[in-house]
Amino acid sequence: MTAVGESTSAAPAAKKSGFRPDVQGLRAIAVLFVVLYHSGVTWLSGGFVGVDVFFVISGFLITTHLLESLERDGRISFGSFYAKRARRILPASLLVGIATVLAAWIWMPPLLMNEVAKGAVAVALYVPNMLFAVEGTNYLAETSPSVFQHYWSLGVEEQFYLFWPAILAVGFWLCRRSERRLLVVSAVLVAVSFALCVALMSVSQPWVFFSLPTRAWELGAGALVAFLLRSGARWPRAAGTGALSWVGLALLAVVGLVYTEQTPFPGYTAALPVLATVLLIIGGAAPGRGSANRILGLRPFQFVGAISYSLYLVHWPLQVIPQVAVGEDNPLPLWLRLALGAVAIPLAWLLFRFVERPVIAWPTLRKRSRLWTGAAALATSAALIATAGGSYYLTSARGETATNQTAGEETQLQKDPAGTGFVPENLTPPLEEAEADNPSIYASDCHRPQDSTDSSGCRVGENEDAPLVFLFGDSHAASWYPALAELAEQGKIRLDTNTKSSCPSVDVPLVLEGVTYTECDTWRQGVIDRINEEQPDLVLLANYGAERPELEGGGDFATRWQQGMESTIDAIEGPGGDGSGSGSDEAGADGSGAGADGSGDGSSDGAADGSSSDGPVVDVLADVPDQGETSAVCLSKNLEDTAQCAVPRGEAFDPAVTEAEQSAAETTGARYVDLTAYLCNESMCPPIIGNVLVYRDGHHLTTHFSRLMAEPLWEEIEASLG
């Protein structure tokens, strides 16, 4: 590396930058990876790494430009830099943002418009990535994503552009105008960012995925390439170096084909696509024909590379809005998703031809760059915020979220409910409040978050003579808390609640967001230890197995789920600590309860009397029906015909998981308690019973409905206690 003012024969040539067709072709590969991945092409399961390729390219190009400014002028013209960024990014982003809000208003359920508005505001404030990090969005596994979710990468880049020029300018001054010393500083920052990316994966994958500090190293890797190619070093200019681009291309292809949604990402696995891009950029700079430039320079790649930014903007709403319009439980066929991806190409060309390119070349903006920098940014933000705010108005203007009919007030549940065929105006809770209708243990922190290992539990009920009941499981167990709390307030039981997000009481090692969920194992064992110490009268196990969470080590899910449930029940010991289990070993052959489809109409006596003198009685609660999509969202577009949102009984349960839980209860002498008959009739599981909304999303009971389940649940608890 040579400092400004020093000269070598190789340096001037090495420091010249200009248009590179290979980089344009690399842009094409990156955006095609993303578009095909989002279009459902399963063999390109790692297509999401296209964003990482973009990060490296951006870091390389931006740093090259900034270093040229430092060499030429000894400083960075921040006004000029941000004006160019504004002309490049904001107009197309603004237009697509407005079009997305309007399209969402036309085709998406009214109840989702508030989420659309929230996303638009985050985009306007250049922090969409932070919004998704705060919400804990899992980008690789999200089933109902935001229409603005793809803007997260733009948020990372915009935030990088905010800090990086200043870092280089200050560093250049502190390093006495030496690019070599500045390279060392930059390398240290890149290393720190990469270390954070790897280390924090075990803490919070969403924050690692979406935040700038843990993603900056990818842009920084491109920056280091810019330093290298400006250094005057001879080996990057050697003819044989071109072979590196072939290595990079092959590595990128392997990553795209091998990585999946289960790959821990970003973390250390992001290093491979970043390395592949680095090799492609370095190899592409070498003279001669030994590189992959001839492929990357082909006209189709040049065309797609030119429109890559516009294509990235338009492709995502085309995938998300139609899917949401037809319902998440009706996946769009592959051919249609591919067609939508193909339609994005001409739309992107129109956006590039008539918006992106003209604005970049607009003479007025180029001459008054500093003035227009702030004006363009402020105007864009104001327009997007106004659009977002307007979407709230559009939501109310579009129509109500209930009919003008009323339904009979539901005070006591009956079996085989017919359901209410319309959304009543006296619906409890209203559709707008469904998502927030959580059990009170969420607000009081008695329901443990994913990062907690606190197994202390929370007690409800003042009748010291009442039997002690432990509730033990994940968020589906928490859904039963209002019913059990009602019984505790009536003095029928004393309740000790032990629930934790995404952590079943079933003894299985889980992988959560790509990393081993050790907090779950620690918490679960802590609860079991407390049960064995407290010796409650009854332990209620309730879990969400239909989601089939990722098990560490793989294998047949139903088999391992059954073994894990048996392990948990067997670990619940009597006073003597002999680990003998909870119930009688005389389970009847006919004690299997509901069928594999969850069609039972009550509980089964898996044990002779559901009790044992050796330790606490254990009841396994059958899971609630899985609606497939958020009921409130579906109902908001089917106000007069709620049957459109009812799930067939045969599709509401995972038969293999149901059978596994029944078998585990029978094997261990526990009691399998099935209350499905209060949630479903013979054919369907309605989303509204009487005037009560049953589900707050697709598979959690509302607090209001759970309270109504208190009496049916008490009948089963009373039977278990003998």
Closest CA to 216 of 188, 239, 176, 237: 188
Domain count, the chain: 2
Residue 683 lies in a domain: no
442 and 386 both lie in a single domain: no
Question: Residue 445 corresponds to which tokens in the numbers above?
Answer: 């922190």
Q: What is the CATH number of the domain that holds 541?
A: 3.40.50
The 3 state secondary structure assigned to 369-394 is: HHHHHHHHHHHHHHHHHHHHHHHHHH
640-650 average pLDDT score: 94
3-state helix, strand, coil in the chain (%, to 5): 55, 5, 35
Residue 591: predicted pLDDT = 37
Question: Residue 577 corresponds to which tokens in the numbers above?
Answer: 């600590």
CA gap 399, 105 in Å, rounded = 11
The burial class, CB within 10 Å (0-12 / 13-18 / 19+), for 328 is middle
Closest CA to 446 of 483, 390, 384, 501: 501
The 3 state secondary structure assigned to 209-245 is: HHCCCCCHHHHHHHHHHHHHHHCCCCHHHCHHHHHHH
The string of pLDDT tens digits covering residues 473-527 is: 999 999 999 999 999 999 999 999 999 999 999 999 998 876 789 999 999 999 9
Closest CA to 705 of 482, 494, 554: 482
Residue 6 lies in a domain: no
592 and 539 both lie in a single domain: yes
CA gap 200, 545 in Å, rounded = 28
pLDDT at 398 over 50: no
CA gap 441, 447 in Å, rounded = 5
- DSSP class of residue 534 equals H
Q: Of 395, 420, 453, which one is at a domain's C-terminal end?
A: 395
pLDDT at 140 over 70: no
Give, to the nearest 10 degrees, the angle between helix 50-73 and helix 179-199: 160
Residue 433 lies in a domain: no
444 and 382 both lie in a single domain: no
Residue 326: predicted pLDDT = 87
Question: Residue 255 corresponds to which tokens in the numbers above?
Answer: 């990553």
Contact 190, 198 (CB under 8 A): no
370 and 275 both lie in a single domain: yes
488 and 382 both lie in a single domain: no
Residue 688 lies in a domain: no
Closest CA to 672 of 612, 614, 591, 596: 591
254 and 147 both lie in a single domain: yes
Report residue 695 CA to chain centroid gap. 21
Q: What is the DSSP string of 633-663?
A: HHHHT-TT-GGGGPEEGGGSS-HHHHHHHHH
Residue in this structure with the two tokens 């585990």, named with its chain if needed: 664
Residue 74 lies in a domain: yes
Q: Of 368, 395, 422, which one is at a domain's C-terminal end?
A: 395
> Which of 456-460, 475-479, 588-592 has the least mean pLDDT?
588-592
Task: Show the domain range for 114.
Answer: 11-395
Question: Residue 658 corresponds to which tokens in the numbers above?
Answer: 């149901």
CA angle 413, 698, 138 (to 5 degrees): 150
The pair phi, psi for residue 91, each rounded to 5°, is -60, -50
The string of pLDDT tens digits covering residues 76-96 is: 988 888 888 888 888 899 899
Residue 647 lies in a domain: no
Q: Report H helices in 515-597.
A: 518-534, 557-571
389 and 446 both lie in a single domain: no
278 and 355 both lie in a single domain: yes
56 and 199 both lie in a single domain: yes
CA gap 525, 522 in Å, rounded = 5
Report residue 711 CA to chain centroid gap. 37
CA gap 478, 473 in Å, rounded = 7
431-452 average pLDDT score: 92
152 and 257 both lie in a single domain: yes
Q: Of 369, 395, 421, which one is at a domain's C-terminal end?
A: 395
Query: What average pLDDT is seen over the chain?
Result: 87
The string of pLDDT tens digits covering residues 261-311 is: 888 899 999 999 999 999 999 999 988 788 899 999 999 999 999 999 999
pTM over 0.75: yes
Residue 204: predicted pLDDT = 83
Residue 584: predicted pLDDT = 38
Residue 506 lies in a domain: yes
372 and 258 both lie in a single domain: yes
CA gap 402, 425 in Å, rounded = 5
450 and 383 both lie in a single domain: no
Q: Which amino acid is at 272?
A: L
Residue 491 lies in a domain: yes
pLDDT at 452 over 80: yes
